[in-house]
């Protein structure tokens, strides 16, 4: 006799409400980028975390800021840029990983080419914003 596994009602509280597997090359290839600034799309969202797929367009500097509620993990997936880490601009390329706890000032810039990256916020960003500009 086999027993069917049932998931408790309300346990799945994410958007989308299924597992996510992204082909990032394909994903980035089909995005329409703005002329300047950052293209940002929420790929996964739940009460505990948020995943954004982003591109900082060539010539963009986001601006120095910190988060008061969330930690941010940045995974660079393509291009080149720089991230302000502990007051120093550090070059980043595909494979770079930046972990920035809440309360730490940071910034991102893509001066010579587009910078593709993932931003993972934990816990989830609060309603409105959690950006505190310096």
- Residue 2, pLDDT score: 67
First to last CA, the chain: 63
The mean pLDDT of 80-85, rounded to a whole number, is 98
Residues with Cβ < 8 Å from 23, sequence gap 6 or more? none
- Residue 4, pLDDT score: 74
Judge whether residue 29 has pLDDT over 70.
yes
The mean pLDDT of 62-88, rounded to a whole number, is 98
Of 37 and 128, the structure prediction assigns the larger pLDDT to 37
Q: Is 69 exposed, middle or buried (0-12, 13-18, 19+ CB in 10 A)?
A: middle
- Residue 42, pLDDT score: 96
Asked, as a colleague might, if the bond just before 16 is cis with ω within 30 of 0, I would say yes
The mean pLDDT of 108-124, rounded to a whole number, is 97
The mean pLDDT of 5-23, rounded to a whole number, is 88
Judge whether residue 1 has pLDDT over 70.
no
Domain annotation for the chain: domains and CATH numbers: 37-133 (2.60.120.10)
Judge whether residue 5 has pLDDT over 90.
no
């Amino acid at each position: 006799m086999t027993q069917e596994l049932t998931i408790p009602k309300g346990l799945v509280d994410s958007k989308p409400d299924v597992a996510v597997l992204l082909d990032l090359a394909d994903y980035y290839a089909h995005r329409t980028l703005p002329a300047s600034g950052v293209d940002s799309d929420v790929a996964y969202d739940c009460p505990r975390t948020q995943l954004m797929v982003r591109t900082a367009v060539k010539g963009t500097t986001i601006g120095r800021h910190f988060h008061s509620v969330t930690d941010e993990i940045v995974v660079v997936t393509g291009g080149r840029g720089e991230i302000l880490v502990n007051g120093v601009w550090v070059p980043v390329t595909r494979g770079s990983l930046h972990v920035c706890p809440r309360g730490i000032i940071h910034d991102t810039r893509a001066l010579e080419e587009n910078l593709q990256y993932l931003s993972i916020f934990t816990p989830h960003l609060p309603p409105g914003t959690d950006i505190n500009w310096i």
